[in-house]
Amino acid sequence: MWLLLAVVVIVIVFASVLYKRTFTVHELALTGVMAALSLVAYLFFRVPFYGGSSFHLGNTFTALTALLLDGVSGGLAGAIGLALADILAGDPGYAVTTFVLKFIIGITCGAVAHKVFKLRELDKHAPGYLAKVIVAAASGLLLNVFTDPFLGYFRNVYIFGQEYTIAKALTKITGGVTFVNSVASTVCVVILYLALRPALERANLLPKAQKASEPKADK
């Protein structure tokens, strides 16, 4: 786990320099913990299926991090944690596509949560709050139902050299398993977010909501 946390910190620092994005110590720590939880959820709590797909809840922590922090943090947590999980599980050929797919989940969930719905600025008792949390969590996870089989098909055909008919059949299996993963993960994300957000806010571990600028008084 310490190795994973070190990898997370190095990648995030590199990303912050590349994109001029500043990460606080709390964000680094929380992202590292979520990456570790993603890895554990995949390695020890999964049901493998034929063709490399498997039922697991590792994506839960990708979307959860995006809702609690932002899309970049969520994407990095899932991408690093689950790509490393592929390597440790003996499937290094899947690691690159996993990194890309999980980063897409995080970016999408973060964009919907904080750019569209402004979740950080909403009170939990606000009208439609629960619905917005559900949609934000589901956005990236359900998008993965399409991106995962699509990218997996091209990986299997053009990198692994599988026959088109076999790759097509595996794509259908992957799509079904990914849908079940996404629905289960969405439920877990919503429950965990509603439970964790108030506690993390009280502990000052989450970014502060940006206050709207006050209108200028008329002269």
Q: How far are the Cα atoms of 12, 63, 199, 204 from residue 25, in angstroms, in the given order?
A: 11, 20, 18, 12
pLDDT tens per residue, range 127-150: 999 999 999 999 999 999 999 999
Range of the domain at 186: 2-202
Q: What pTM does this model have?
A: 0.84
CA 185 to chain centre: 10
CA-CA distance, 39 to 84, in Å (whole number)? 7
Question: What CATH number is given to the structural domain containing 187?
Answer: 1.10.1760.20
Q: Per the domain annotation, does 28 fall within a domain?
A: yes
pLDDT tens per residue, range 179-211: 999 999 999 999 999 999 999 999 988 887 765
pLDDT tens per residue, range 107-127: 999 999 999 999 999 988 899
Q: Per the domain annotation, does 209 fall within a domain?
A: no
Q: For residue 67, give every residue at least 6 positions away whose Cβ sits within 8 Å of its Cβ, in sequence order, or none.
A: 74, 109, 110, 113, 119, 133, 136, 137, 189, 193
Backbone φ, ψ for residue 117 (5° rounding): -95, -15
Backbone φ, ψ for residue 35 (5° rounding): -65, -40
Tokens found for residue 55: 């039922």
Q: What percent of the chain has pLDDT over 90?
A: 49
Q: Per the domain annotation, does 217 fall within a domain?
A: no
Q: What is the pLDDT of residue 15?
A: 61
Q: For residue 84, give every residue at least 6 positions away whose Cβ sits within 8 Å of its Cβ, in sequence order, or none.
A: 4, 7, 35, 39, 95
Q: Per the domain annotation, does 212 fall within a domain?
A: no
Q: How many domains does the chain have?
A: 1
Asked whether the predicted pLDDT for residue 82 surpasses 60, the reply is yes
Burial class of 55 by CB neighbour count within 10 A (0 to 12, 13 to 18, 19+): middle
Q: Per the domain annotation, does 50 fall within a domain?
A: yes
178, 149 contact by CB (below 8 A): yes
- Beta partners for residue 48, in sequence order: 54
Q: Per the domain annotation, does 121 fall within a domain?
A: yes
Question: In sequence order, which ranges of the chain are alpha helices (DSSP H)?
Answer: 2-19, 25-44, 59-68, 71-88, 95-110, 129-158, 164-202
Q: Per the domain annotation, does 47 fall within a domain?
A: yes
Which residue would you say has higher pLDDT here, 131 or 49?
131
* DSSP letter, residue 47: E
Tokens found for residue 85: 């999980």
Q: Per the domain annotation, does 186 fall within a domain?
A: yes
